[in-house]
Amino acid sequence: MKILVTVKEVAEAADDFEIEGTDIGEQYLEYDLNEWDDYAVEAAVQLSETYDDVEVVSATIGPERAEETIRMALAKGVDRSIRVWDDDVAAADLDVAAKTRLFAAVVEEEDPDLVLSGVQAADDGFGATGVSLADEIGFDWAAVVNDLETEDDLSMAHVHRELEGGIEELTDVDFPAVLTIQTGLNEPRYASLRGIRQAQSKEIAEFGLADLGLDADAVASPISRTGMYEPETESDATYLDGAADEQAGQLADVLREKGVVSE
Amino acid sequence: MSDVLAVADHRRGAVRDVSFEIVRAGRELADDLDGDLHLAVIAGDVDAFADRLSLAGVDAIHTVEAGEEFNHDLYAGATAALFEELAPTAVLMPNSVNGLDYAPAVANRLDLPLVADAVDLAYDDGLEATREMYGSKVETTVEVSEEPFAVTVRGGEWAALEERADVPVEAFEYEFDESASGARVQGFEEVGAGDVDIADAEFLVSVGRGIEEEENLELIEELVEVTGATMSSSRPIVDNGWLPKNRQVGQSGKQVTPDVYLAIGISGAVQHVAGMKGAETIIAINTDPNAPIFDIADYGIVGDLFDVVPALIEEFE
């Protein structure tokens, strides 16, 4: 069995930041493995530990900088990685359809039985690529999975989809499938020192559009970002100021006044 | 004609709030486009749902009677078939958990550009959508240069449209065999039952990512003990396994309406706020003065919880 995990390196903005053009200034951004993808990687690695002959391959669309994040996934137990990038991809404003085309080409190349992706990316939060990909490649799918059990013959999975308001939907999904993974599915491991050492010798294959049988049209997008701004603050909170003990004193007064503290 | 097709959301026999909001968003967009608003109602007791959604501003309701509950193959297939029939300029779907499970498939098979999780829409010679990025720290505008297009709309961003009207209802024939679907719903499970129901509490002390380590929860436990409060939390604490699921406040957890909600180290992501904005008094302690939790707080303390909470415990000891 082969599992393909999509892994995105996402940017997180510092508490204090400035917008430059249509994005946050590069100096205010820190890059890390997307939190949802961390759970997807863990799910894939656990399956490879449970069953014999499971290969876990990660796929990333991202620049060379992303290799640090990819190494982290390799250190956690991913067997090898694919990184899709070239000048045309770099120049594009990738929308869901473009990412779908790129990952579909990777799927064609790798022929996985199961694709795991995070529900969404922490930075742009479209939350759409996994299901779009499933539809494109003709796999079955389930979105927002927070519990996963596989049949031992790996023909299907019993999943829980986390709906709103503390309700979970119990769904059976046939393989091959794409599952989009919600946080909390498992406990993502930390990379061990041994894992980090091993990751250094694992393969990160680079693919450009031509290597995937695509051209620049594949990353053309009719959606473009035209503006970014900080939302106006709507706060009309009464701020309790002073040193910590003064703040605590005022807060205690508020709580007593509201009559919620039993003394 | 430049029509809008919107798809209603319902679950276990009840129309979900976002359906009334998507009607508002769809009506506004249809006005901008000078077209009609079509509303699709798929699966379950469609006649009852259509009656519930007979709202002023909806020009036609299309019911698809197939299956009992949500199934993404049904929703994606029926929405795509309605699209082919009606040839609208815009397809609006909810950015609910079920929306996440079928809207991208609709966009993909119809080859439509997809703008996900929109919080505002404007149309003037093309769609301009507003959406958030970087965990709600910024808003962005995106323009779509192609038509038709698909959009998923975030719940709670448009005011519900409630005014009733007589809307023509048409049954739309769509063949669907759920047993042939590769993803089959087996049932539902309520999670988060357990020792306490945080929805009953008058005073909730709620803890978030700012607590940093599991052992630091002792500090909050102590505060809860001296004040007689009930402890709840935001999502990361439950994801980490530090508190059981029945303590989670938010979109996927519990909705709470206590007299006082004291948020400690919680930034106030939209999914969390959805679960607690109905609290009578909201108090927030956070080191980041720009944290969105302060936007909805009645009282704010900008400070380090590891300084403020011990001092607060002393007040009540």
Q: Tell me which residue in A127, A244, A254 faces B283 most closely, judged by beta carbons.
A: A254
Question: Is the pLDDT reported for residue A151 higher than 80?
Answer: yes
ipTM of predicted assembly, 2 dp: 0.94
Which domains occur in chain B, in start order?
4-180 (3.40.50.620), 198-316 (3.40.50.1220)
Query: What is the arithmetic mean of pLDDT over B294-317?
Result: 95
Query: What is the arithmetic mean of pLDDT over A200-220?
Result: 96
Q: Does B315 touch chain A (CB under 8 A)?
A: yes
Q: Does A31 touch chain B (CB under 8 A)?
A: no
Give the minimum alpha-carbon distance from A225 to chain B in angstroms, rounded to a whole number. 4
Q: In Å, what is the CA distance from B77 to each residue of A167, B42, B174, B181?
A: 25, 11, 8, 11
Question: Is the pLDDT reported for residue A263 higher than 80?
Answer: no
Q: Does B241 touch chain A (CB under 8 A)?
A: yes
A15, B288: Cβ pair inside 8 Å? yes
Amino acid letter for position B51: D
- For residues B308 and A196, what is the distance between their CA atoms, to the nearest angstrom? 39
- For residues B72 and B183, what is the distance between their CA atoms, to the nearest angstrom? 8
Query: What is the arithmetic mean of pLDDT over A36-60?
Result: 98
Residues B39-55: pLDDT tens digits? 999 999 999 999 999 99
User: Which residues in A lie closer than 8 A to residue B311 (C-beta atoms)?
Assistant: 244-245, 247-249
Q: What is the per-residue pLDDT for A45? A: 98
B295, A235: Cβ pair inside 8 Å? yes
B95, A11: Cβ pair inside 8 Å? no
Residue with tokens 């996994």: A130
B116, A123: Cβ pair inside 8 Å? no
The sign of the torsion formed by the CA atoms of B8, B9, B11, B16 equals negative
User: Which residues in A lie closer than 8 A to residue B262 (C-beta atoms)?
Assistant: 255
Pairing, β B183-190 against β A167-174:
antiparallel
Residues A15-26: pLDDT tens digits? 889 999 999 999
Buried b (16+ CB within 10 A) or exposed e, B75-89: bbbbbbbbbeebebb
Query: What is the arithmetic mean of pLDDT over B172-183?
Result: 91
B116, A177: Cβ pair inside 8 Å? no
Query: What is the arithmetic mean of pLDDT over A177-194?
Result: 96
Give the minimum alpha-carbon distance from B166 to chain A in angstroms, rounded to a whole number. 31
Residues B97-144: pLDDT tens digits? 999 999 999 999 999 999 999 999 999 989 999 999 998 889 999 999
Residue with tokens 């206590």: B258
Q: Among residues B288, B286, B293, B290, which one has the least CA distance to residue B271?
A: B293
Testing the interface with A: which of B21, B315, B316, B317 to mutate, by most A Cβ within 10 A? Answer: B315
Which domains occur in chain A, in start order?
2-219 (3.40.50.620)
Mean pLDDT in chain B? 95
